[in-house]
Amino acid sequence: MDLMEKLVALCLNRGFIYPSSEIYGGIAGFWDYGPLGVELRTNIKAAWWQTMVRERDDVVGLDSSIIANPETWVASGHVANFHDPMVDCRLCKRRFRAGQIDADDRCPASPDGKHDFTEPRQFNLMLKTRIGASDDTAGDAYLRAETCQSIFLDFKRVMTSARMRPPFGIAQIGKAFRNEITPRNFIFRSREFEQMELEFFTPPAEAMSWFERWREVRMGWHHAIGLDPAKLRWKAHGPDELAHYAVAAYDVEFEFPFGWHELEGVHHRGDYDLRQHSQHSGKDQSYTDPDTKERYTPVVVETSVGVDRCLLALLASAYAEDEVGGEKRVVLRFTPQLAPIKVALLPLSKKLAEPAEKLAAELRRRFAIDFDVSGSIGKRYRRQDEIGTPFCVTFDFESLEDHKVTVRERDSTQQERIATAQLGPYLSERVLGF
């Protein structure tokens, strides 16, 4: 079994990720996040927001609607340009992105590669919906294909209400939708996904400097959350790869189990976005510097990373197999800050469940915890290792007398006896960093 198969099985069995509407056979490109998955996603988003917004005085947040006026997507170029070439194979009755067909012109779904391909044709990736009370009055709209466009639409509102001036940024975390021709590689390419995006508005003369500064910040963040540096690299977009709006662009690539692929994009978008929306809406989006009286359309530097791809990269980096006491174990070596469950409280006997519950209630006020009383202590350790819990706390019969518990660290498996009165500060320092 290869790493990808192991990750998919673990996610399904341990409550990270399930196929959406599975009892009806599922639906391609859509996934549900179980109890552990939603905790991990929440922690990823919190770590991004902490770094990108709360620790900075030049970035503010936004949470915009999933559906915008359809003219938004005309102005942005999505209606005209957001296409992928698509081919059908008449033999296997499957549909593919043209880019999936290899240089030997083989059918990806056929063991012997035999095919009967149609000519490539353009397929728009926008997901349409209808808004209105009845079919005859409803109008076409789109589920947003990216979260950044609403940031551009709200640029002046945010700047004025937050009393900001360029250079400053607007950050947003939110769902986006793309009608992918062939969703694949688990959650890597889905039709519904979540983005963490920053649009940083800067005077034209400062744009390239900010572009390089944000590249440094973003790579540092990926290192900090626990991605293996050996599996990260920069890939520059060549002149023939740049999007129609881009002046310069780099991808942070990660070595997923299925190869090197984009994890995050850092783009110098020029003044394309605000200029386009100025022209199409008739509302001027330029800015006048109150000190120099210079009037200009701000240039945008964008950083955009998918929550789902980030989660998959974390799983791939964290997954390990080793031996403890001659017994094989699977362990997810998440950083404590991102681990879905921070602390597992394990009463040594079911008879200790009631007195241990008081300690559990205290820990729940600070951490996401698991309270597990079933099975041998060794099996319970293995379960917690497999979901990435950094600390297990064993409450034994001596704990009733000496008011101490045994704390086991996941990676080293070393154990330490700690007074229950000191347990909160002890774990806070190691889990939260303070």
| Structure confidence by residue, pLDDT tens digits, 277-330 | 999 999 999 999 999 999 999 999 999 999 999 999 999 999 999 988 888 999
Residue 277's closest CA among 245, 309, 229? Answer: 245
Residue 434: pLDDT band by 50, 70, 90 thresholds? very low
CATH class for the region spanning 3-72+144-315 = alpha beta
Which comes out higher in pLDDT, residue 102 or 215? 215
Q: What is the model's pLDDT at position 243?
A: 83
Q: What is the model's pLDDT at position 25?
A: 92
Calpha distance 377→191 (Å, rounded): 42
Cα-based angle 220, 226, 231 (whole degrees, multiple of 5): 80
Q: Same fold for the domain at 3-72+144-315 and the one at 341-431?
A: no
When pLDDT is averaged across residues 129-145 and rounded to a whole number, the result is 78
Q: What is the model's pLDDT at position 397?
A: 94
The pLDDT of residue 149 is above 70:
yes
Residue 172's closest CA among 45, 270, 74? Answer: 45
CATH topology classification for 341-431: Rossmann fold (3.40.50)
- What is the residue-averaged pLDDT of the chain? 90
- Quickly list DSSP for 136-172: TT-EEEEE-S-SHHHHHHTHHHHHHHTT--SSEEEEE
- Which 3-state string (H, E, C) describes 228-270? CHHHEEEEECCCCCCCCCCCEEEEEEEEECCEEEEEEEEEECC
Calpha distance 138→140 (Å, rounded): 7
Pair 201, 62: CB distance under 8 Å = no
Number of C-beta neighbours around residue 124 at 10 A = 17
Ranges of each domain in the chain: 3-72+144-315, 341-431
Please state whether the predicted TM-score (pTM) of the whole model is above 0.85.
Answer: yes
